[in-house]
Amino acid sequence: MQCISFEQIGVLHKRFKQLSHNEETLRRDHFNEIDDLAFNPIRAQIIEAFFDRRNFHQNGEGKVQEIGFEEFVVVMSHFRPPSAHMTEEQRGKTRREKLRFLFNMHDTDNDGIITLEEYRHVVEELLSRSGTLEKETAKCIADAAMLEVASISVGHMEPDEFYEGITFEHFLKLLERFEIESRMIIRFLNMDTTTLCK
């Protein structure tokens, strides 16, 4: 596990104070105040991810109502860039961590499996800002995606078998060529407060 530098923690702390209006904890309505997020089709899921105990690296479960600075930093740490020299093992670990974050975002009912309903919800949310959405289209896409996962992960199934949903292992296999460790990063290395919005 890599550490975030002191400088970055300082910057994040400033931002935390800004968002929480100098209180000690952040709540959901603090996030709702961020204007830029309004256009984001998956803002609800993003905000929920901050309050999801599974992302706090403490093997917890369930949701909380407010978070402190420590949890804020831990969630943000999922997006740090990979360090220059990483062994294969470290790279694999980072990949798992980031994919776990994504998985938690999809798996809203916390049962460790992304069911078809949950996946449909994901696709619907993604398309929700595009205006003319027909529910069937989202369903088609989600169904097709689910079918693909099943084909890749399980391969051969009898006609009467049922594919429960995407487990974390299947999810890993699905996105193994996605290079998530270099794509899911925020460059908040060179941030300073003057570039912060608001």
Partner 1 sequence: LSATTCAGSGCLPVFLEGSVFTVAVASSDQHSPITAHSGSHKATDHGSHNNTGKAFPVLDLNYENVRVPFEISLWVLLASLMKLGFHLVPHLSNIVPESCLLIVVGLLVGGIIRGTGETVPPVLDSKLFFYILLPPIILDAGYFLPIRPFMENLGTILIFAVVGTLWNAFFVGGLLYGVCQIGTESSSILSRIGLLQCLLFGSIISAVDPVAVLAVFEEIHINELLHILVFGESLLNDAVTVVLYHLFEEFSGIGSVTLLKGFLGVISFFVVALGGVLVGVLYGILAAFTSRFTSHTRVIEPLFVFLYSYMAYLSAEIFHLSGIMALIACGAVMRPYVEANISHKSHTTIKYFLKMWSSVSETLIFIFLGVATVAGPHDWNWTFVTVTVILCLVARVIGVVGLTFIINKFRIVKLTTKDQFIIAYGGLRGAIAFSLGFLLNKEHFPEREIFLTAIITVIFFTVFVQGMTIKPLVELLAVKKKQEAKRSINEEIHTQFLDHLLTGIEDICGHYGHHHWKDKLNRFNKKYVKKCLIAGERSKEPQLIAFYHKMEMKQAIQLVESGGGIKMPSAVPSTVSMQNIQPRPSTKPAPERAIPQLSKNKEEEIRKILRTNLQRTRQRLRSYNRHTLVADPYEDGLSDLFLKKQKMFQIEKKLKEMNTYLTVPAPPPDSPTMCRARLASDPQAYSIKPASNKVPMIQVDLASPQSPDSVNLLDEFGQANQQEEEEQGLMMKPPSRPREAKKPSEEDEAKDQQRLMRCLSDPGPSADEDEDGAFLP
Q: Applying CB under 8 A, does 114 fall inside the site for partner 1?
A: no
- Of the candidates 26, 31, 124, the residue with the CA atom closest to the CA atom of residue 67: 26
- Told to check if 126 binds partner 1 by CB under 8 A, we report yes
Q: How far apart are the first and last CA of the chain?
A: 32
Select from 56, 69, 168, 178 the one that contacts partner 1 (CB under 8 A): 178
The three-state secondary structure class of 89 is: helix
Nearer to partner 1, 18 or 53 (CB): 18
The CA distance from 108 to 120, in Å, is 12
Q: By the 8 A CB rule, do 79 and 152 touch?
A: no
Is position 175 an interface residue for partner 1 (rule: CB under 8 A)?
yes
Contact call for residue 188 and partner 1 (CB under 8 A):
yes
Interface with partner 1, residue 112, by CB under 8 A = no
CB of 20 to partner 1, least distance (A): 12
Q: Which CB atom, from 59 or from 195, has the smaller least distance to partner 1?
A: 195
Figure out which of the listed residues 27, 43, 96, 121 binds partner 1, where binding follows CB under 8 A.
43
Q: Are 80 and 94 in contact (CB under 8 A)?
A: no
Task: Pick the piece of the chain touching partner 1 (CB under 8 A) from 39-47, 53-61, 63-71, 88-96.
Answer: 39-47
Q: Which residues pair with 67 in a beta bridge?
A: 26
